[in-house]
Structure 1
Amino acid sequence: MRTPLRTVAVVAVATVALLAAGAVFGLRKPAPALSPSTVPVAATDRLAANITRAQERLRKLPRDHETWAALGLAYVEQARVTADPSLYPRAEGALERSLAVKPKENPAALVGLGALANARHEFAAARKFATDALKTNPFDADAYGVLADAHTQLGDPAAATTAIQRMLDLRPGLAAYARASYDLEQRGELAEATELMRRALDAAADPADIAFCRNQLGDLAWSTGDLSGASREYAAGLAASPGYLSLLRGKARVAAAQGDLTGAVNAAGTVAARTPTPDTLLEYATLLKLAGRLPEAARQLTLAEAAHKLFVANGGQDDLTGAQLALARGDAGAAVRLAQAEWRRRPFADVADVLGWSLHLAGRDREALPLLRRAVDGSPRNAGYAYHLGMTLLFLGDQPGALSALRQVRAINPYFSPADGPTASRALSALEARP
């Protein structure tokens, strides 16, 4: 029975272990299914044990191509769980060893290389690995997951939807439903995305799966400005799995929106300390700056830059994060150059937004405008995108356009950013007060 993505008619949700879901999953920044801050200690221990068992087996059977592929994919996962990109070369070595042992008809190795490429933000390479894997096994659901993630980031939403639909048809589990929900969210169909995740939650039994679903639901509620709904989901997720730190990250956002800056700083600091990725460190730095703790904020920004360099040193490509770091430093010119490089590689809505905003801050508003419109068109229920468009229109003197965009921010989620939300509110009030 088909599970149509458009109608989100979920017939049955197979409970899938979080590690299996996360191995080839990367949608948001960070990935919603399994970012470095989402995995409980018990899951991390299980992953380490699986790696040890695979290594022991390979010492006895060094030509076991399937175990080499499984080990490589486990390293990709471990890199995500531990926020340690230095594991990427190990993953690559194991996966290439699998292909050396069995060069043909080895879709597991190709899927693993595709997952690794997605993790490194080499999305075009990931697309090719997944396509090659499907030539050998057209019924490989994990290959469709890798393909969907790559298409999403490469700015081809129609192809991503098609790949997700095939994944749903082949294996309607948590990994497929999470991708489908995100696909609907990107198109602005938030009610349908939420319904899909609620049905997934109804069938979830493992605490990690429950926490994952609750986190997704919390994020969806947050994206609509529903602070109480988001808070309930995050709290319920933490009750199911206290070590699932993405839920604490969500609680930090809610606390900041409710005016509890101290609580937000403490929660964000816990997340950043345990999983020091560029995005968690940048979020923490922003909150510290709002709290007036400028030297500490500067230190977190330095740590974020170091984390980004580590990612690049281990084969990652991420000029988008480089651009965001440049913006945090106040260097709009560098941000433009980096975002332009990223845009050439992947014309995704996030990149269009960052490039457009960088151009605006560099005083190049007319160049910024088509990119910001493209971001809004690609994700029409994103308050941050609408804010950047509105402020750019305001600087261009288009008051009706700015008024419309800033009203959209208020309608979508006025709490979208602890730093920019108040600015949006003030600008909108000033526009509405004009005759």
Structure 2
Amino acid sequence: METGTGNGANDPRGAGRGSGRRRARLVTGVLLGLLVACVGAGGLLWLTRPQPLPAPPPEPGPAQLATAAVTSGVPAALPHLAALIAERERHLRTRPEDARAWALLGLAYVEQGRRTADAAHYPTAERALRTSMRLLPHGNAGALEGMAALANARRDFRAARTWGEAALKVDRKRWTTHSLLIEAYTGLNDYKAAQSTLERLQKLHSGTAVMARSAAVYWDRGWREDAAATLSDAAASAGAPAERAAWLERAGQLAWERGDREVALQHLEEAVRLDPDLRAAQAGQARALAALGRTTEALNAYRVALAEQPSPGYALELGELYESLGLDQAAQVQYDMLRAQVRNAAAGGVDEELVLGRLEADHGDPDEAVLRLRAEWRKQPGIAVADALGWALHRAQEHEEALRFAERATDKEHGGGVRSALYAYHRGMIEKTLGLHGPARRHLREALLINPYFSPLWAPSAREALDELGEPPQVEPPAA
């Protein structure tokens, strides 16, 4: 008897259907495997295909370049400074409570005033910095540092020291403040503090601004080769053209102080090429050109520098060049201009008593020079002031006291390690007047050895004085 199980186990049709399903599953598996393989291969190809390079970051604009410069202690180009000032002022019109923006604006105005010798920028800088401190009275190292920079620019080194030390109390590792303090300590004749601060600065940072500050300290200590080599490294490592131009200008000044006229002119011409607004380099060119006998070019270079940057120091140099050429009336025009420039600077809080005292000592009223420079010495007794006061006393017939100040300016024990032809000349002339012929010969020769061209007016005077002194007398050896 047959029984119907319904499972089709012995049914050929059922067996066919089972085989068909297995084949279908097999084909489906193969197809799925191929699909997975294709997807995997495609993914691998997608992952390994050349990827498009990311777009380069946009080039920094003028305001950004100036910000990077002024906050890292390096010179900024004048057009970039103008852009930064305009940008910060726009920002502050909508966000007047931004203390850090006020501090940056103040610092930019300080740099603009320094670059242009326009003291009118300094009161604006001070208002911005004090606004920043009012908005952020505690922990505002940026504004405190800005006030130190402003005081240095005004030649108020006591105030610069006070502000700088206050900034360091907020942030001991703020290396840019150390650099400003070195300048202040040097102006106050505190060379030990300047040296120790430099050592801390060199541990904190190693950029070109530190190299340039180190070179200045080396020069003050009489290490001329170290100073020149350090500035050369700074110029080679500089980034922006304005920064490199600034270090080349200083290198040119050091070469000039050594009497290397051609090297000085080479550095200064390159500085002007890189930054045509760098008037200090143009005035330096004028010095070197005058020393090379290229007088017409020198006069033109001085005029261009003074037209854009009315610095009393440049006016004094140009006046003395005119005087050396016998053009006394033209010289007097420059001396009168210098006095007007000093008055303008004083209105902006800038102390130009040093250069005014030098003018009065040599081309005006020596007694007036003594009064001004005594006051300056009490306020900030730096080496430059010691030299100028000593010379003014000499011109006012106070030769004994004059020699004491001249010794301070040239004696390493008192910090006077800088090798200055002008300082040595002043000391030698004072000694000659006092009948100290041996020391006078030594110092007058030293002046001409350091830089035979140190002044178109006073270098010939040094040679004449040496001729008058003659050779030292021959002393017979004692009898045996």
| Same structural fold, with TM-score higher than 0.5 when normalized by the shorter chain | yes
Partners in 2 of 1:345 and 1:23 — Cα distance? Answer: 29
Match of residue 233 from structure 2: 199
Match of residue 13 from structure 1: none
1:122-133 aligned at under 5 Å gives the runs 122-133=156-167
Contact 2:391 2:406 in 1 (8 A): yes
Asked if 1:236 is matched to 2:274, the reply is no
* Residue 434 (structure 1) shift: 5.5
Partners in 1 of 2:242 and 2:322 — Cα distance? Answer: 30
Q: Deviations over 1:299-326 (max 9, x none)?
A: 2211211111111122223322231232
Asked if 1:249 is matched to 2:283, the reply is yes
Q: 1:411 to 1:328 in 2, by over 3 A?
A: closer
1:89-168 aligned at under 5 Å gives the runs 89-168=123-202
Asked if 1:384 is matched to 2:422, the reply is yes
What SS does the corresponding residue of 2:88 show, helix, strand or coil?
Answer: helix
Amino acid at match of 2:163: F
Q: Deviations over 1:240-269 (max 9, x none)?
A: 334433222222111211222222211111
Find the partner of 2:449 among 390, 402, 411: 411
* Residue 228 (structure 1) shift: 2.0
Aligned residues, how many? Answer: 406
- Which structure has the bigger radius of gyration? 2
1:283-432 aligned at under 5 Å gives the runs 283-377=317-411, 378-432=416-470
Amino acid at match of 1:344: R
Contact 2:118 2:309 in 1 (8 A): no
Partners in 2 of 1:387 and 1:269 — Cα distance? Answer: 27
Structure 1: 5+ residue stretches without partners = 1-15, 26-32
Contact 2:251 2:264 in 1 (8 A): yes
Q: 1:240 to 1:117 in 2, by over 3 A?
A: closer
1:55-74 aligned at under 5 Å gives the runs 55-74=89-108
Amino acid at match of 1:420: W
Partners in 1 of 2:247 and 2:112 — Cα distance? Answer: 21
Q: Deviations over 1:130-181 (max 9, x none)?
A: 1111111111112112211110101101111222222222222222211110
* Residue 204 (structure 1) shift: 2.1
Amino acid at match of 1:288: Y
Amino acid at match of 2:134: A
Amino acid at match of 2:181: L
Q: Deviations over 1:300-353 (max 9, x none)?
A: 211211111111122223322231232243210000000000000111110000
Contact 2:67 2:84 in 1 (8 A): no
Amino acid at match of 1:390: G
Contact 2:66 2:80 in 1 (8 A): no
Deviates more, 1:177-186 or 1:251-260: 251-260
Match of residue 255 from structure 2: 221
What SS does the corresponding residue of 1:85 show, helix, strand or coil?
Answer: coil
Q: Deviations over 1:273-303 (max 9, x none)?
A: 1111211111121122223333222222112
* Residue 117 (structure 1) shift: 1.3
Q: 1:287 to 1:344 in 2, by over 3 A?
A: same
* Residue 20 (structure 1) shift: 6.0
Match of residue 175 from structure 1: 209
Amino acid at match of 2:173: F
Match of residue 114 from structure 2: 80
Amino acid at match of 1:173: G
What SS does the corresponding residue of 1:340 show, helix, strand or coil?
Answer: helix
Give the structure, 1 or 2, with the largest relative contact order (CA under 8 Å, sep 6 or more): 1
Amino acid at match of 1:264: A
Contact 1:389 1:405 in 2 (8 A): yes
Structure 2: 5+ residue stretches without partners = 1-63, 474-480
Amino acid at match of 1:392: I
Percent of aligned positions that are identical: 38
Partners in 2 of 1:131 and 1:93 — Cα distance? Answer: 21
Partners in 1 of 2:153 and 2:105 — Cα distance? Answer: 16
Match of residue 6 from structure 1: none
Asked if 1:273 is matched to 2:307, the reply is yes
Give the structure-2-normalised TM-score: 0.80
| Aligned-residue CA RMSD (Å) | 2.0
Q: Deviations over 1:25-72 (max 9, x none)?
A: 7xxxxxxx86xxxx7xxx212111111111111111111110011111
Contact 1:414 1:425 in 2 (8 A): no
Partners in 1 of 2:253 and 2:451 — Cα distance? Answer: 12
Match of residue 28 from structure 1: none
Give the structure-1-normalised TM-score: 0.88
Match of residue 29 from structure 1: none
Deviates more, 1:374-383 or 1:330-339: 374-383
Partners in 1 of 2:257 and 2:250 — Cα distance? Answer: 11
